[in-house]
Amino acid sequence: MAMLSRADTFIVDVPTIRPHVLAMATMHAQSMVIVRLIDADGVEGLGEGTTIGGLSYGEESPESIKSAIDTYIVPVLETCDIAQVGATMAKVAKCVRGNHFAKCAVETALLDLAGKRLGVPVSELIGGGRVRGSLPVAWTLASGDTARDIAEGEAMLEARRHRIFKLKIGKRDVRDDVAHVGAICKALGDRASVRVDVNQNWSEAQAKLGMAMLADVGCDLVEQPIAGDDVAGMARLSTTQAVPLMADEALHGPRSALRIAASHAAGVFALKIAQSGGLFATAEVAAIGTAAGIGLYGGTMLEGGIGTIASAHVFATLPELAWGTELFGPLLQTEEILSEPLAYADFSLAVPTAPGLGVSLDEDKLAFFRRDRTAPALH
Residues near ligand MUC, by CB under 6 A: 52, 140, 142, 197, 199, 248, 299-300, 302, 326
Segment contacting Mg ion (CB under 5 A): 47-55, 244-252, 253-261, 312-320?
244-252
Instruction: Write down the catalytic residue from 66, 166, 168, 272.
Output: 168
Note whether 284 binds Mg ion by CB under 5 A. Answer: no
Alpha helices in the chain (DSSP H): 62-68, 74-77, 85-95, 100-118, 146-158, 174-188, 204-217, 231-240, 254-262, 273-276, 279-291, 305-315, 363-369
Residue 310: how many other CB atoms lie within 10 Å? 30
Strands 134-136 and 44-50 come out as unpaired
Of the candidates 55, 53, 54, 35, the residue with the CA atom closest to the CA atom of residue 45? 35
Taking the complex as a whole, how short is the minimal distance between the CB of residue 323 and Mg ion, in angstroms?
13
How far apart CA 167 and CA 137 sit, in angstroms, is: 14
Nearest-5° Cα angle at 84, 62 to 317: 75
Segment contacting Mg ion (CB under 5 A): 12-20, 44-52, 81-89, 218-226?
218-226
Taking the complex as a whole, how short is the minimal distance between the CB of residue 326 and ligand MUC, in angstroms?
5
Taking the complex as a whole, how short is the minimal distance between the CB of residue 285 and ligand MUC, in angstroms?
15
Which helix or strand (DSSP H or E) is residue 6 part of?
Answer: strand 4-21
For ligand MUC, the closer CB: 51 or 241: 51
Q: Give the dihedral sign, CA 364/368/371/372.
A: positive
3-class SS of residue 160:
coil
Q: Tell me if residue 168 is catalytic.
A: yes
Q: Tell me if residue 78 is catalytic.
A: no
Instruction: Write down the catalytic residue from 124, 223, 249, 326.
Output: 326
Q: Which does 52 bind (CB under 5 to 8 A by kind): Mg ion, ligand MUC, none?
A: ligand MUC
Taking the complex as a whole, how short is the minimal distance between the CB of residue 144 and ligand MUC, in angstroms?
13
How far apart CA 32 and CA 34 sit, in angstroms, is: 6
For Mg ion, the closer CB: 123 or 201: 201
Residue 87: how many other CB atoms lie within 10 Å? 12
Contact residue for Mg ion among 60, 152, 248, 336 (CB under 5 A): 248
Note whether 124 binds Mg ion by CB under 5 A. Answer: no
Q: Which does 336 bind (CB under 5 to 8 A by kind): Mg ion, ligand MUC, none?
A: none
The DSSP call for residue 338 is B
Cβ neighbours for 7, distance < 8 A, ≥ 6 positions apart: 35, 36, 37, 38, 69, 70, 74, 77
Taking the complex as a whole, how short is the minimal distance between the CB of residue 55 and ligand MUC, in angstroms?
14
How far apart CA 336 and CA 305 sit, in angstroms, is: 7
For Mg ion, the closer CB: 100 or 130: 100
Taking the complex as a whole, how short is the minimal distance between the CB of residue 84 and Mg ion, in angstroms?
33
For ligand MUC, the closer CB: 274 or 279: 274
Query: Binding string to Mg ion for residues 174 to 213, with x set by CB under 5 A, is what?
Result: -----------------------x----------------
Catalog residues that contact Mg ion under the rule CB under 5 A.
197, 223, 248
- What are the catalytic residues? 168, 326
